[in-house]
Amino acid sequence: MTIAKLPRFLLFALLLAVAAGCGGGKQDAPAGGAQAEARAGGPGGQPEEPAVPVAVAPAELGAISSYYKATATLEAEKEAQVLARVAGVIASLSAEEGDRVGAGTALLRIDNNEYRLRADQAAAAAANLRTRFQRLQAMRDEDLATVEEFEAARSELARAEADEGLARLNLSYTEVVAPFGGRVTRRLASVGQNVSVGTPLFALADFDPLLAKVHVPSREFNKLRQDQAVELVLDSVGQRVQGRIKLISPVIDPASGTIKITIEIPSYPEGTRPGDFAQVQIVTERRDGAVLVPRSAVLTDKGETVVYVAAGEDGTTAERRVVEVGFTDDERTQILTGLAAAERVVVKGQRSLKHGSKLKILAEGAGS
């Protein structure tokens, strides 16, 4: 009998048996799939993420300060032009640009023949009148000279002595000397040049100490004090030097709302000169016992300030921690809330982390 000729109920039973046999094969598949997931290492067949290599450092307690920062130009404490005080021809030079000179050191000499003769002439006139006055004084003691004659002689002698003093003073001005110790920054005259009174001859500056002047907002006024330490970084050599606040202006500039601060720099590298630029940092507030972490540990993520903490029982699980920060300097950041001292924060490799990531700690220390 062919399948087509089977009774209808037998044909239906046969189809049910075939369907049941196919279903049984499919029921074995889940067991094999679970084994495959187990071999893959995670649910859904996804492999476990590898540990992220990082460096960590502990949060520490310490002191940190806020700074007012500005740029200043270094200036000499004393700077002046040396001018001719008498007219004449320059006979010789005793100093050149760059020379160090002391107060009273000769810089140049103006030909003084005429001034010497004038001084001698004035001295002779004064000597003659001195002799006449002494003779009249003796005569006056014996009532042989009138009071008028005696007073006239005394007046003439005083005038002659003043003329002699002026002539000798002008003679002394023919030797031009440094008014203070320092360095010759410019020579403005040459031998043979005919100068008049007031002609600039030299520019002189005292580099010890150097000064820096900055203008600080008036709101910082109460945070500053005289002799306060100041840190400067010289642009020319990139070296840090120490200064102190020498002067604080008593008035506020109404145009800018700032106060002028004069900083004295007593010691600096050889070759530092007026005109060099310096970055100035003035401490405006200091906080002791602050929780500090390396600057590199702090990130901005999705508008939040965060650090990653090495957490978990074995310290190898990343915990994303939202924090509030305070002062920041070149190396460290103050944490106000969200972190305690001694907790370890990730300082390198944290940009590859997310909350719950496994950590592979490669280095542990102060951070950078």
Q: For residue 1, is pLDDT > 90? A: no
Mean pLDDT of the chain: 87
Domain borders along the chain are 52-64+288-364, 68-76+207-287, 112-173
Q: Which residues of 253-280 are buried (b: 16+ CB within 10 A; e: fewer)?
A: eeeeebbbbbbbbeebeeebebebebeb
The pTM score is: 0.62
CATH fit for domain 68-76+207-287, picks 3.30.450.20, 2.40.30.170, 3.40.190.10, 3.40.50.300: 2.40.30.170
Q: Quickly state the pLDDT bin for 26 (edges 50, 70, 90).
A: very low
Q: Which residues of 190-210 are buried (b: 16+ CB within 10 A; e: fewer)?
A: eeeeebeeebebbbbbbbebb
Q: For residue 135, is pLDDT > 50? A: yes
Fold of 112-173: Helix Hairpins (1.10.287)
For residue range 141-181, what is the model confidence (pLDDT) as tens digits? Answer: 888 888 888 889 999 999 999 999 999 999 999 999 999 99
Q: Hey, what are 63's tokens?
A: 């002191």
Q: What is the pLDDT of residue 46?
A: 57
* Cα–Cα distance measured from residue 281 to residue 262, given in angstroms and rounded to the nearest whole number: 13
Q: For residue 25, is pLDDT > 60? A: no
Q: What is the pLDDT of residue 35?
A: 45
For residue range 285-329, what is the model confidence (pLDDT) as tens digits? Answer: 889 999 999 999 999 999 999 999 999 889 999 999 999 999 998
pLDDT above 70: percentage of residues in the chain: 86
Q: For residue 37, is pLDDT > 80? A: no
Q: For residue 367, is pLDDT > 80? A: no
Q: What is the pLDDT of residue 366?
A: 61
- Taking residues 225-229, what's their average pLDDT? 91
- Indicate the class that CATH gives domain 52-64+288-364: mainly beta
- Taking residues 256-278, what's their average pLDDT? 91
Contact between residue 193 and residue 88 where contact means Cβ atoms under 8 Å apart: no
Q: What is the pLDDT of residue 9?
A: 46
* Cα–Cα distance measured from residue 99 to residue 117, given in angstroms and rounded to the nearest whole number: 33
